[in-house]
Amino acid sequence: MMKPTLEVVRGTKTQRTCEIKGADFHIGRLPNLDLFIDDIRISRPHARIQRLPDGSYDLMDLDSQKGTHLGGKKLMPFQPVPLRDGDRIKIVEYELIFHQPGPVVHEPQDDGTTVLGSLHDLSSDHLVKRSKHPARTLKAILDVVRALGGGADLGEVLSRALDGLMDVFPQAERGFIVMAEDDGSFPLAAYRQRQGHTSAPTLSRTIQDRVLREGEAVLIKDITVDTILGDEGSLVSTIRSAICVPLRSHEGKTIGMVQLDRLGDSDHFQEQDLDLLAALALPIGVVVVNDRLLKEQASWAAAREIQRALLPRVQPHIPGYTFWECYRPAQVVGGDLYDCMSSKLDQAA
């Protein structure tokens, strides 16, 4: 999973790279901070990076002695400034390069609808009935399912799935998959682009709400004729037509989304493309759910081994006594432990 990071550079050498976790990331000279820099010139709490509800980040100087610089400008204390991918933060002689390999989120101008088509019912039965080319749909599903096979890292599997989707939709110039995490963030999980297409992934706030929060599949035939998204100049400069569908769990919970888009002024996506991508998203969602279940099971198994390691391995030997124990939690781990300890009289307690 691709998550925001800070690359710590001193001089011309990168010393380390820190992953930015949680909603608040603190920088300073205290060892318990997220980024600890052992330099007397750096204030103990020096600066903070904060994740906003839309997944973007800002930087704030915490009234430090030597100050915090962003892009060559000194920040005013306690005044948050937006961070962008590639921004360089300067704290004394340390340069912190901010990397955010995620989609750029564009805010809507007002609360009106911004899509020319949406698909609410994503059940497999409904999708089959809507399909005008069932043979093509079946072949595409089989190709994507084949790409999802293999015991590889989830990011690698999703990247292969995107390769398959780009083959199915030749008009797509770019594609990406984002995950919906429980903490409200939407990290970029996989990204693919055609040769010559170099702009960053673009995710409209309105599309994000429609797909990730409401669970709809969205079609934008031509963004230039849309009265709301068309006003977002930076968005119009990166996409012209797009299809976006949610990834679903077995319970119907939205766990991520897939977006394919293009900037070209012809060969726009149509309703049948939305239907097909919605069908292809079903097995991708299954893979994501299975990966999360496997990781959860591995975590529980590790917790079980840790708990078992806390139990006594050898029974005490006391003449005239026989000890027997049985520890069997109802679930993978339990809330009770036992131990054997020697008292001052050299007897087991």
- Reported as a single tens digit per residue, the pLDDT across 223-268 is 776 555 545 555 556 778 889 999 988 888 889 999 998 888 788 8
Reduced to 3 states (helix: H, G, I; strand: E, B; else coil), residue 267 is: coil
pLDDT of residue 69: 96
Reduced to 3 states (helix: H, G, I; strand: E, B; else coil), residue 20 is: coil
pLDDT of residue 181: 82
pLDDT of residue 111: 36
Cβ–Cβ under 8 Å, residues 70 and 56: no
pLDDT of residue 109: 44
pLDDT of residue 226: 56
pLDDT of residue 114: 37
> Rounded CA gap, 70 and 96, in Å?
10
> How many residues are recorded in the chain?
349
pLDDT of residue 209: 82
What Cα–Cα distance (Å) separates residue 238 from each residue in 177, 265, 290, 328? Answer: 17, 12, 33, 58
When the pLDDT of each residue in the chain is averaged and rounded to a whole number, the result is 79
- Positions of the chain with pLDDT lower than 50, given as ranges: 107-117, 230, 348-349
Cβ–Cβ under 8 Å, residues 242 and 259: yes
Structural domains in the chain, CATH included, are 5-100 (2.60.200.20), 105-296 (3.30.450.40)
> Rounded CA gap, 171 and 238, in Å?
15
pLDDT of residue 309: 78
User: What H or E segment, with its residue span, contains residue 141?
Assistant: helix 134-148
Q: Return the structure tokens found at 292.
A: 């999360």
pLDDT of residue 115: 44
Strand order in the sheet with 69-70: 13-19, 5-10, 94-99, 88-91, 69-70, 73-74
pLDDT of residue 116: 37
